[in-house]
Amino acid sequence: MTPAPARFTFDLDLGKRTTPTVPPEPTMPERLVAELLAQAREQAYAEGVAAGERNATSVAAQTLAAAAGTLATQSAEMAAALDDATTRAQREAVELAASIGRKLALHLLARYPTVELDALIAECMQSLNGVPHLVVRCHPGIADAIRDIATAHMQTSGFSGRLVVMGDPDLRLGDGRLEWVDGGLVRDIGAIAKDIDLKISAYLAARSGQAKQQESDQ
């Protein structure tokens, strides 16, 4: 049996028919939007690059400052070490020269024991006119030689007083004493050596003080 068709009841209100919604057209062209987006990307990229450069510059400046500080410290240490080495080398050189000088002096005294007293007697007799007597004390081993030397100087200097040459066992070879009424001279190799040592020590101390002062000024 065939079903009966549905009846059209006209319940719809045809006067309130709705119209399909149409999307609004964009107010800005798509081309302009694309250009703005491209400009925004370029600006963001430029700002990122600038920020990266500033950061890199800051890091580089800090690294350079740290390296400069390290270099300054190392340079100061190297300069101090060089000053110490220079001072030590100078001290060793001076001490070596002094040692060689002492050995050479002793060798010359042993070979020419009368030379120093010869020069001393010649110098004194030039200013001893009118002095009644001159006493020369020296090592006994060279007493006869010194007597001959002094007698020869009397003939050329004009000294007419009495000459006395005495051997003194307490005097070392090369040492001697000249004595007259109101004066005298002493030739003491040991005292001269001590004076030289004091001058060398003073020189080295002064050099060391100068080096320390320069280091503190830096």
Q: Residue 133: left if φ>0, alpha if ψ -120 to 50, beta else—which one? A: beta
Q: How far apart are CA 72 and CA 67, in angstroms?
A: 8
Q: Report the range of poorest mean pLDDT among 4-13, 71-80, 94-103, 133-142.
A: 4-13
Q: What's the pLDDT tens digit per position in 43-60?
A: 777 777 777 777 777 777
| DSSP SS3 for 178 | strand
The arithmetic mean of pLDDT across residues 193-202, rounded, is: 85
Strands in 162-167's sheet, in edge-to-edge order, are 162-167, 133-138, 176-180, 183-187
Structural Rg of the chain based on CA atoms: 55
pLDDT band at 139 (very low <50, low <70, confident <90, very high): very high
Rounded to 5°, the CA angle 29-31-37 comes to 105
Q: What's the pLDDT tens digit per position in 148-177?
A: 999 999 988 888 889 999 999 999 988 999
Two structure tokens written together for 58: 């800051």
Two structure tokens written together for 67: 């390296």
Instruction: Note the pLDDT of residue 10.
Output: 47
Do the Cβ atoms of 83 and 211 come closer than 8 Å?
yes
Tokens 């950061």 belong to residue: 55
Can you give the pTM of this predicted structure? Answer: 0.53
212 pLDDT higher than 70: no
Do the Cβ atoms of 122 and 153 come closer than 8 Å?
yes
Q: Please count the other Cβ atoms lying within 10 Å of the Cβ belonging to residue 203.
A: 13
Q: What single-letter DSSP state applies at residue 140? A: G
